[in-house]
Amino acid sequence: MPKPAVRFPKLDPRTLPGPDNIRRWQLGNGIVLLVRENHASPSVVLTGYIAAGGLTETEANAGLAGLTAGSLMRGTQRQSFQRIYESVESIGASLGFSSGKHKTNFHGKALAEDLGLLLNLLAEVLRQPTFPQDEVERLRAERLTALNIRDQDTGAVAALAFDRLTYPGHPYAVPSDGTKESLAGLRRADLVEFHRSAYGPRGMVLAVVGAVGGEAARGAVEEALGDWVHPGQALPPKLADAPPLKRLQRKNVTLAGKSQCDLVLGVAGPSRSDAGYLPAALGNSVLGRFGLYGRVGDAVRENAGLAYYAYSSLSGGHGPGPWSVVAGVNPANVEKAVELIRKEIGRFVTRRVTAAELEENQAHFIGRLPLQLEANEGVAGSLVNIEQYDLGLDYYLDYPGQVAAITREAILATAQRFLSPDRLAIAVAGPALVGASG
């Protein structure tokens, strides 16, 4: 039986994003614009994405979408790299791009008086980048340095090894930021071609939140981006499923000279659109987040004192992103930590969470909304989520009821569908483990 909502924190609907205070428009070229006014501070956030990501990348060209996104602000038909950044930094604003498997995201911030400037710059770098050869080379060198650093970072190396175990033959096994080999092989022409084919207004979402009126924001966006058309725009391909693991898969990567190992244990989890997503998210909170790290934190950190951090996470994006537990432990304690975590996963898929656990986590999911939605960043992120996962403008108004309706049985069923202590990918990176296989 669902718990009555009255037992949970009560939210003032006027403070939540909803149909009464979100303005949503779709421009003629397909761009969706969402605006919410907030005059608490004289600033504004602009965030969103275009539908171009690294889903089609292979080991050979991994990092293409990322290098393309990183090059956008390095020169356009009208301005040089230095002029572009002078215009942004001299007004205390910021604008940046990053790309993942499914999207290229952008994020900007400015004083409200400078929104027009920021929007025009966004349009210019999306539509007219020139990818100057010397700038591409400089960015490549910076990214190669970043990869050198990544390849010595125990957490990042463990996560990469985990992806390779969990997603064999699947796009998610290919690192989004590439490898030293793939990055070295990318040519300027590859960037130009990726931009030409994949960048366009279809699938683009833009959220503006802050001290700006809805109509004013719409006018500025229409002026900057309303005439962008790209009839042949390539849209991302359909993503294949990630077949579940059949047994434990283990990989140890030795990084000499380190003090601590990072470990990642987990599986391919539900996507955001999976009916099991919300039960999984609540269950994940019980497993490895609530309070300081939930059950996993209690077992590994509080009781055994093995780790400074040990928690679980559920990515829940467009595809079957990881549902995993991570921990940083001394090499002598790796096997003990792995067994403790497997034991917690075993308990999680065998018995329902307790009624008290369910209730306190439901209260937490509802009660944390005011804090999540306090600053412009949080509100803008929520608007983008509403749009990209088709949640509806009244999502946050309905959310407390949806959370309250989740049952212990639903959490157990979702946990059993995805997790098993005997079918996990386990990746460890750090100093050599004595007597370990891998």
Out of 149, 184, 229, 240, the only residue in the binding site for other proteins (CB under 8 A) is 149
Residue 137 vs 227, nearer CB to other proteins: 137
- Tell me, rounded to whole angstroms, the distance of Cα 304 from its chain centroid: 31
Out of 117, 239, 375, 436, the only residue in the binding site for other proteins (CB under 8 A) is 375
Q: At closest approach, how far in Å is the CB of 306 from other proteins?
A: 7
Q: At closest approach, how far in Å is the CB of 120 from other proteins?
A: 18
CA distances from 216 to 61, 105, 125 (A): 41, 23, 22
Collapsing DSSP to helix, strand or coil, 256 comes out as coil
Residue 205 vs 366, nearer CB to other proteins: 366
Site residues for other proteins, 77-116, by CB under 8 A, read 81-82, 85-86, 88-94, 96, 109-111
Q: At closest approach, how far in Å is the CB of 43 from other proteins?
A: 4
Q: Answer yes or no whether residue 328 interacts with other proteins by CB under 8 A.
A: yes
Q: Answer yes or no whether residue 434 interacts with other proteins by CB under 8 A.
A: no
Q: At closest approach, how far in Å is the CB of 197 from other proteins?
A: 28
Q: Answer yes or no whether residue 259 interacts with other proteins by CB under 8 A.
A: yes
Residue 111 vs 239, nearer CB to other proteins: 111
Q: At closest approach, how far in Å is the CB of 248 from other proteins?
A: 19
Reading the block at residue 197, the tokens are 């084919």
Q: At closest approach, how far in Å is the CB of 211 from other proteins?
A: 6
- CB proximity list for 286: less than 8 A, separation 6 or greater: 294, 295, 348, 353, 357, 358, 361, 411
Q: Do the Cβ atoms of 407 and 231 come closer than 8 Å?
A: no
Residue 32 vs 263, nearer CB to other proteins: 263
Reading the block at residue 305, the tokens are 């004192």
Q: Answer yes or no whether residue 255 interacts with other proteins by CB under 8 A.
A: yes
Out of 161, 174, 191, 349, the only residue in the binding site for other proteins (CB under 8 A) is 161
Q: At closest approach, how far in Å is the CB of 366 from other proteins?
A: 7
Q: Do the Cβ atoms of 148 and 133 come closer than 8 Å?
A: no
Site residues for other proteins, 201-220, by CB under 8 A, read 211
Build a one-symbol-per-residue string for 119-138: x at contacts with other proteins by CB under 8 A, - elsewhere.
-------------------x
Give the E-state strand segments of 274-380 in sequence order: 307-314, 322-329
Q: At closest approach, how far in Å is the CB of 219 from other proteins?
A: 20
- Per the DSSP assignment, residues forming a β-bridge with 34 are 24, 207
Q: Answer yes or no whether residue 302 interacts with other proteins by CB under 8 A.
A: yes
- CB proximity list for 290: less than 8 A, separation 6 or greater: 357, 360, 361, 364
Whose CA is closest to 129, among 57, 211, 198?
A: 198
Tokens 């075993």 label which residue? 346
- CB proximity list for 280: less than 8 A, separation 6 or greater: 269, 270, 274, 314, 316, 323, 411, 414, 415, 418
Residue 41 vs 350, nearer CB to other proteins: 41
Residue 375 vs 413, nearer CB to other proteins: 375
Residue 83 vs 196, nearer CB to other proteins: 83
Q: Answer yes or no whether residue 141 interacts with other proteins by CB under 8 A.
A: yes
CA distances from 63 to 94, 154, 171, 185 (A): 23, 20, 12, 10
Reading the block at residue 237, the tokens are 């391909």
Q: Answer yes or no whether residue 314 interacts with other proteins by CB under 8 A.
A: no
Mark out the alpha helices in 34-132 (DSSP H runs).
64-71, 81-89, 115-127
Build a one-symbol-per-residue string for 1-20: x at contacts with other proteins by CB under 8 A, - elsewhere.
--------x--x--x-----
Q: At closest approach, how far in Å is the CB of 372 from other proteins?
A: 9
68 exposure class (CB count in 10 Å sphere: 0-12, 13-18, 19+): buried
Reading the block at residue 91, the tokens are 């007004």
